[in-house]
């Protein structure tokens, strides 16, 4: 079963996203802050990560950086969700290891489409 880690501090958004992804057959782990995302990545071993950028404890960019630095995670794709997607931010997202981003509010369908695309991309291999 394909595993998706969701890090989103807004409880409503987190639940809606989890529900939609589970309905599509994904195994979902959802957390509400950056440190929990780092811990969950290590134990849950997701195939793809949906990462809100504005998160408590450590933000989504820092969490992505730390996750991607862990063995086996370099190629796990990360979709960043951001409320402030300016063109100059894209370089920061990429530098942190995010593979792509969606501006918020992003519909669950939009997130699902990107997740599917990321999983279909050659080189985006699951964690061992
Ligand atoms: Mn947030």
Q: What is the 60 CA–ligand 1 centroid distance (Å)? A: 9
Q: What is the 33 CA–ligand 1 centroid distance (Å)? A: 9
Q: What is the 67 CA–ligand 1 centroid distance (Å)? A: 18
Asked, for residue 62, whether it belongs to a domain, the answer is yes
Asked, for residue 127, whether it belongs to a domain, the answer is no
Locate tokens 């599509």: which residue?
24
* pLDDT band at residue 87 under the 50/70/90 scheme: low
Sign of the alpha-carbon dihedral angle for 21, 14, 59, 128: negative
Domain region containing 46: 3-120
CATH of residue 73's domain is: 3.40.50.2300
End-to-end Cα separation, the chain, in angstroms: 14
Q: What is the 23 CA–ligand 1 centroid distance (Å)? A: 23
- 3-state secondary structure at position 74: coil
The tens digit of pLDDT for each residue in 33-51 reads 999 999 999 999 999 999 9
Q: What is the 70 CA–ligand 1 centroid distance (Å)? A: 23
Q: How far apart (Å, rounded) are the C-alpha atoms in residues 95 and 61?
A: 9
Q: How many domains does the chain have?
A: 1
For the chain, the 3-state helix, strand and coil shares in percent, each to the nearest 5, are 45, 20, 40
Q: What is the 45 CA–ligand 1 centroid distance (Å)? A: 22
Are the CB atoms for 22 and 28 separated by under 8 Å? yes
The tens digit of pLDDT for each residue in 59-83 reads 999 999 999 999 999 999 999 998 8
């Amino acid at each position: 079963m394909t595993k998706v880690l969701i890090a989103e501090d807004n409880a409503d958004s987190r639940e809606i996203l989890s529900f939609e992804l589970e309905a599509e057959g994904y195994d979902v782990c959802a957390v509400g802050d950056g440190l929990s995302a780092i811990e969950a990545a290590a134990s849950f071993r997701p195939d793809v990560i949906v990462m809100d950028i504005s998160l408590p404890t450590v933000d989504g960019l820092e969490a992505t950086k730390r996750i991607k630095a862990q063995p086996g995670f370099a190629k796990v794709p990360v979709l960043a969700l951001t409320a402030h997607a300016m063109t100059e931010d894209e370089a920061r997202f990429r530098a942190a290891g995010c593979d792509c981003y969606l501006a918020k509010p992003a519909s669950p369908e939009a997130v699902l489409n990107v997740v599917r695309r990321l999983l279909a991309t050659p080189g985006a291999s699951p964690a061992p």
